[in-house]
Structure formats: structure tokens, C-alpha cells
Amino acid sequence: MKLWEHYYTPTTIDEAVALLQQHAGQARVIAGGTDLLVDMRAEGAEPHPALVDITCIPELSQIDADDDTVTIGAGVTHTQIVKSSLLSSRATCLVESCGVVGGPQVRNVATLGGNVAHALPAADGTTSLVALDAQVEVIYEDQRQWLPLLDLFLGPGQSLLDSTHDLLLHFCFPLTKAGEATAFKRIMRPQGVALPVLGCAVWVQLDEARTHYQQARVCIAPVGPRPVRVTAVEDVLAGKPVGAATLEEAVRTALDTLKPRTSKYRATADYRREMIAVLLRRTLPLAVERAQTGEAIPEDIGV
Ligand SMILES: Cc1cc2nc3c(=O)[nH]c(=O)nc-3n(C[C@H](O)[C@H](O)[C@H](O)COP(=O)(O)OP(=O)(O)OC[C@H]3O[C@@H](n4cnc5c(N)ncnc54)[C@H](O)[C@@H]3O)c2cc1C
């Protein structure tokens, strides 16, 4: 089955943009192809006129950091992320979420940019990027600009970016410092589907004594058409002592606030509600422990 007519491998961003412009809506960006090629095969339509592969652009395949911030190219693979010792210790939830995407073959080619550009609210990499408060650099409406990550999501599978014209370039977020830590966990069906029943990523900042939450960010997904921060839970945590009472208040608030839906492939709404409680009880204490001890060793890495 022929899937495309022309396949381009530009080595610069300018070249990729020029190819997209030249084909005026008839060329589409491809990275690892683990979502796009599956969709193209399922659609079984005519071969696509042109694909523009961004994985040969060195600028998009790097992880760069200074003391406080990391910038990750959209073409960085899940395996690259999992293997980064910097991200393991200072963006642990991202390593945990990228480490459970597919199997090793998928992770070796699938990119963080593709995970986000596909715009599914359940995508594992996206869930952690939301908790990390990531910004994205894009070429959107012919302007190179930075946007909040959440601005990209319009609905399930619907991105602000038109992948026949726009480009996702980089992600940027603050690395965790002393007293801060993150954790990610998900509930997955054992076989047959690519996306989780539910995922949860948290970022916590504790006070100097490491006994109280100063701030927290929580992303539980999918609980709606777009990924969201659970701000009601974040508000409950701020200023409260770490420990069982605050955790249970956070769980009650999440259950009052979030309305997951039934998915015929993954889980019922009732099951997902139960898993909200399970995931918060797993991730929040883990992130707190990491923030208290300063030791962040990722769990559930499947490599
Ligand atoms: C067997 C299998 C298991 C999987 N398991 C999981 C899982 O557990 N969790 C999970 O979250 N996902 C899973 N996936 C989905 C997929 O692997 C990930 O979403 C992956 O990160 C997609 O990245 P990619 O580079 O392959 O994207 P591609 O398929 O190349 O692209 C996806 C979409 O994004 C667009 N795009 C890609 N890069 C850019 C860019 N830089 N700028 C603009 N548009 C762009 C493309 O045009 C396309 O629309 C699985 C897939 C398979 C096949």
C-alpha cells in the first residue's frame, strides 16, 4: 500500500517551512510516524502528496538546559528523554510518562512533539508536560512564537497547529529545584490499546521545613476533550501540611470536580472515577517523598 508520493527530509527549520509553503496545504509534517502512519493506513485513502519529516533537523532533536530551565526539541524521541539523567532527576514525571509509551520500538522513533501535536488528551507525554507548566515554541500563522502548552489543544485530536502549514519546534519548562519534585503514574489496560485508561502527573513545591505544600500542579487525563490542570486540587494543596488528611481532601476535591466519560475501548466513567483516587494516592505521596529526600528515581521505566 503506497502511503505517500514524495518524502522530504529537510535538515533545517527554514527548509521544512519552505517545503510546507511550496506544497500549499498538500504536504504534512511527519516525525516518528507512529500516530500518523497508523491513521493513514486506517483511512486507506489515496497516497498523501508529500510528507515532510522533521527528524533530520538537528535543532529539533536536542535536549538543552541551563541551571533552571530545559528546552526539548519537538523531534526528541521518548527514548532520548528516558535516557536523560538530567530529566530523570529534575523532570522525573516526564521520564516516567515517556518510559511507558508503547514498547521500545515505538519509543525509539516516536517523538514528544508528535505526542503533543496529535492532540489527544490522554497522551502520556502531554500529561506530564502540563504538570511541568511547559511552554511551546511554534511556527503558527507564519510567526515563530512561544505559547502556553495548553493553548494548542482545541479538542480530541484537534490541535491549534495545522500540520500542513505550522510547526511545533520546542518545549521549555523549569527544572525542579530543592524542595520540588514530580511524579507520574497511569492505569493501562494490559493489551490492545495505545492510550491509558487514566494518567496523572503532579509537581509539588514544599516549604523550607518540607512539611507543607507551597504550591502544586496536577494534571489528570483524560477527563475531558482537552488536557487540563486540576486547579481545584492545586488550591486545596497550597499551604496545607503534607500527609494523609490533605491527600484525602485532594482526592475528595478531584472527585467532586472531574467528570471522566465512558470510553468503549478503555473504561467506564465509574472505573475512571475510582482510578482518579488511586492515582492521586500514588503520585502525590511519591512526589512529596522525592521533594523531601531530594532523590528522584523514576519508576515504571519500560526500557
Ligand atoms: C503500538 C503503539 C503504542 C503506543 N502507545 C502509546 C502510549 O502508551 N502512550 C501514548 O501517549 N501514545 C502512544 N502511542 C501513540 C504515539 O506513539 C505517540 O503519540 C507518539 O509520541 C507520536 O509521535 P510521532 O513522532 O510518532 O508522531 P507522528 O505520528 O509522526 O505525528 C503525529 C501527528 O503530529 C503531527 N506532527 C508531528 N510532529 C510535528 C511537529 N513537529 N510539528 C507539527 N506537527 C507535527 C503529525 O502531522 C501528525 O498529525 C502508541 C502508538 C503505537 C503505534
- pLDDT tens digits, residue range 139-172? 999 999 999 999 999 999 999 999 999 999 999 9
Q: pLDDT for 105-152, tens place per residue?
A: 999 999 999 999 999 999 999 999 999 999 999 999 999 999 999 999
Cell triple for residue 264? 468503549
Domain with residues 180-293, CATH architecture: 2-Layer Sandwich (3.30)
Higher pLDDT, 1 or 173: 173
Residue 197 Cβ inside 6 Å of ligand 1? The answer reads no
Index of the ligand 1 atom closest to the CA of residue 54: 41
Pick 24 or 265 by higher pLDDT. 24
Question: In this predicted structure, what is the pLDDT of residue 264?
Answer: 81
What's this model's pTM, rounded to 2 decimal places? 0.96
Determine which residue's CA is closest to atom 7 belonging to ligand 1: 101
Ligand 1: which atom is nearest the Cα of residue 122?
11
Average pLDDT score, the chain: 95
According to the CATH classification, is domain 4-53 in 2.60.40.420? Answer: no
Best probe residue, ligand 1, of 34, 162, 171 (max atoms within 8 Å of C-beta) = 34
Residue 302 has pLDDT above 50, yes or no: no
The topology (CATH level 3) of 61-174 is: 3.30.465
Ligand 1 pocket check for 34: Cβ under 6 Å: yes
Condensed to tens digits (0 to 9), the pLDDT of residues 284-297 reads 999 999 999 998 77
**Ligand 1 touching residue 234 (CB < 6 A):** no
Q: Where are the domains of the chain?
A: 4-53, 61-174, 180-293
